[in-house]
Structure 1
Amino acid sequence: MEQAGVKFFEAGFLDLEGNMRLRIFPVKVFDKIASEGYGFDGYSTGFVGIEDSDLVAIPDLSTLRIYSAGDEKRALVICDIYKDDKPLEIDPRYMLRTFVKSLTYSVKVGLEPEFYLLEGGNPVDQSSYMYSILRVNVHSILTELVNSLQEAHIEVTLLHHEVGPGQFEITLPYGDPVEVCDNYVFLKHLLRVCTNFRGLGATFMPKPFTGKPGNGLHIHISAIKRDAHLFGKEELSEEGMYFMGGLLKYARSICLYTNSTVNSYKRL
């Protein structure tokens, strides 16, 4: 990383509300943090009670991404959380990885997140679906975002203006659920850094404005077993019908994860 001009790196994880929690370290201690991790207060991050709150975050080096913040080079690595030398069972990343491993088939997902770019708390433009992006600083943020993602080996499929004023959608690569979610975490962090350096803001909030379109996160799911697509190709298979039925049956419980805030229901 030093050869790439990185002087500081960030090592973080998501809390139970999806917020990025991280610490910043000088690059000279990277090897130590990579092998030993760092301790933190699990009570203040919402994972455990105050009486026994010592947790450890250990970086997963496969998630290491170098990116630009203005003229500065930074690095971000996502961590797994441990307690008493064992994975913390309610660590969101651990739960996802454990669930994926338990399946008898392969699952691939693709994400299409939507977000608003803001200036003074308001949308940066009054454009709509697939309009040209004419503001130079907005275009620069979006191209910087795509270039940084590609430099981090995250190939963006497309990016365009959405229906809402100042609203955009980006399509991330299709793949393993854990890797795709790691890419999404990096995207959100990177976008907020890029906008902050230009005096703007960004929000992925489901319904940031009354009377304007909400932000969605479209999730495409495929299930594959022995090279066969379980949901069918041209028509939905019986397995696909059962999958849809399961989503409907457990929709109320699933909403605890997909619609976890009051604002989520303002969008629905």
Structure 2
Amino acid sequence: MSSEQIMELLKTGKIDYVRVLVVDVLGNVRSRSLRRMEFEKAVDMGVNYPESILYLDIWDRPIKHNFDDVIAHPDLTTFMTFPYLERTGVVLSALTDSGGVPSPLCVRTVLRKATGRLEGQGYRMRVLFEPTFYVLRGDSPADSSRAFSSEGLLVEQEFLKEVVKYLEEMEEPVQRLNKYFGRGQYEITFSPAEALRSADFLTAAKEVVRDVALLHGLKATFMSKPFSDSPGNVLHVYFSLLDEEDNNATLDQTTGQPSKIARNFLAGLQVHIGALSALALPTVNSYRRLREDFSPTVAAAGRERRFLLRFPANFKDTGMLEFRLPDTTANPYLLLTGMIYAGLEGVERGLELMEGIESEEVPTSLEEALRRLSNDRLMREALGEELLSLYVELKLREVKEFEQQVTQWERDVYLRL
């Protein structure tokens, strides 16, 4: 829908409210709902938010106490309607200060800068996200159906049908939806799109899944590993690079194998896998998933599913590579930014891919991953000093809080001593 069509839609009176969304550094969505006439003004002037929303930790506690305003400028290219919200539009935004200077903490602006850098080298990235999530009744899985069974799709069919229906009404086709490995766990595959658009839609889609679950008396969670005896949630990232003629630069058209560009790009991810882990696995809970038999933990490339960098079996047909490390708590804007910078360095330096060989180890804890992120020069350039420092500080708060907890397991085992 063009900007002109959106403004015409507003004039018809079919939209009464528009929610202007802001995505913070941790990937949380904040919003303000404006009456239609106020939104029409905001298209030119922006919407004031307290700057404090960018400095909130996972518990919504600010890490500093002196704040200015930040201005959210609606990006009309992201305008959509959530069909279950009556007469309401939704739009994502880009952040500036009151003088119009882009905010260094705007994750959409950071990704836009990364895609611009990629385009400067003659490439565009197309991304297909494939997240999983758990459906709960109370705090327990909503069903006990087996992996990839028809039973699971039958049991939750009303909820799942509405999710797909609403997403497709938002003009984002769903390729697949299936029961995943865990009890009450489902996987959804979206269609490929430009990097920023894919990140925008994943952000919106997670909101839709959670909202529709609530409307059905359920709860949907994207927590990495909610149950110790069930598989964790994952975010498979499929991607390809297109050249200036829209040819797939990651596919060698002659052999049907990954091109030299593809191998160089993956080599860049391989070199920076430690720092990327802090963006791909951003919670203390994320690292529990790495201990599963199912989890890919080998920082090497190949066809096997245990490899973090993978050439899928259908690569010859799709030309899409796969990054298997992330989970569904990752901020997609920061994740793709890190991937672009790391991969592009691999291309620019002509790095050799260690196929089937692990050249770098994946961190085993969030604290270790944050240390490697802090020490990675390229990631500091990619994210910017201010955003990276804030991200690390917010995440270290979680680490410190977690380490102060005494778990029920510890009491059960050690209380008798």
TM-score, normalized by length of structure 1?
A: 0.92
Alignment match, 1:107: 125
Quote the offset at 1:35 in angstroms: 2.1
Letter in 2 for 1:90: L
Alignment check: 8 A CA contact 1:69 1:197 kept: no
Q: Does 1:221 align with 2:236?
A: no
Alignment check: 8 A CA contact 1:118 1:201 kept: yes
Alignment check: 8 A CA contact 1:37 1:58 kept: yes
Q: Report the structure, 1 or 2, having the larger strand content.
A: 1
Q: Does 1:43 align with 2:52?
A: yes
Alignment match, 1:82: 96
Alignment match, 1:162: 180
One of 245, 260, 266 as aligned partner of 1:238 = 260
**Of 237-246 and 213-222, the range deviating more from structure 2:** 237-246
Q: Report the structure, 1 or 2, having the larger helix content.
A: 2
Alignment check: 8 A CA contact 1:206 1:267 kept: yes
- Give the 3-state SS of the residue equivalent to 1:86 in structure 2: coil
Alignment check: 8 A CA contact 2:79 2:90 kept: yes
Q: Does 1:178 align with 2:193?
A: no
Alignment match, 1:142: 160
**1:20-50, CA deviations, whole angstroms, 9 ceiling, x for partnerless residues?**
1111222332201222221111124318954
Alignment check: 8 A CA contact 2:83 2:169 kept: no
Alignment check: 8 A CA contact 2:24 2:53 kept: no
Give me the whole-angstrom Cα distance separating, in 1, the residues matched to 2:95 and 2:89.
19
- Give the 3-state SS of the residue equivalent to 2:231 in structure 1: coil
Alignment match, 1:62: 77
Give me the whole-angstrom Cα distance separating, in 1, the residues matched to 2:43 and 2:216.
32
Quote the offset at 1:165 in angstroms: 1.0
Give me the whole-angstrom Cα distance separating, in 2, the residues matched to 1:4 and 1:186.
24
Quote the offset at 1:5 in angstroms: 4.4
**Of 139-148 and 176-185, the range deviating more from structure 2:** 139-148
Letter in 2 for 1:57: A
- Give the 3-state SS of the residue equivalent to 1:134 in structure 2: helix
Cα distance, 1:199–1:11 mapped onto 2, change above 3 Å = same
Give me the whole-angstrom Cα distance separating, in 2, the residues matched to 1:18 and 1:146.
23
Cα distance, 1:98–1:165 mapped onto 2, change above 3 Å = same
Alignment match, 1:116: 134
Alignment match, 2:30: 21
One of 231, 248, 251 as aligned partner of 2:270 = 248
Aligned residues: 265
Greater C-alpha Rg: 2
Give the ranges of 4+ consecutive aligned residues of structure 1 lying more than 6 Å apart after TM superposition: none
**Of 171-180 and 37-46, the range deviating more from structure 2:** 37-46
Letter in 2 for 1:82: T
Alignment match, 1:96: 111
Alignment check: 8 A CA contact 2:24 2:54 kept: yes
Quote the offset at 1:128 in angstroms: 2.4
**Percent identity at matched positions?**
29
Quote the offset at 1:245 in angstroms: 1.5
Cα distance, 1:4–1:126 mapped onto 2, change above 3 Å = farther
Q: Which runs of 5+ in 1 are unaligned?
A: none
Q: Which runs of 5+ in 2 are unaligned?
A: 1-8, 57-62, 291-417
Alignment match, 2:370: none
Give me the whole-angstrom Cα distance separating, in 2, the residues matched to 1:198 and 1:100.
38
TM-score, normalized by length of structure 2?
A: 0.60
One of 108, 127, 143 as aligned partner of 1:125 = 143
Quote the offset at 1:52 in angstroms: 4.2
Alignment check: 8 A CA contact 2:54 2:105 kept: no
RMSD: 1.9
Alignment check: 8 A CA contact 2:132 2:234 kept: yes
Quote the offset at 1:101 in angstroms: 0.8
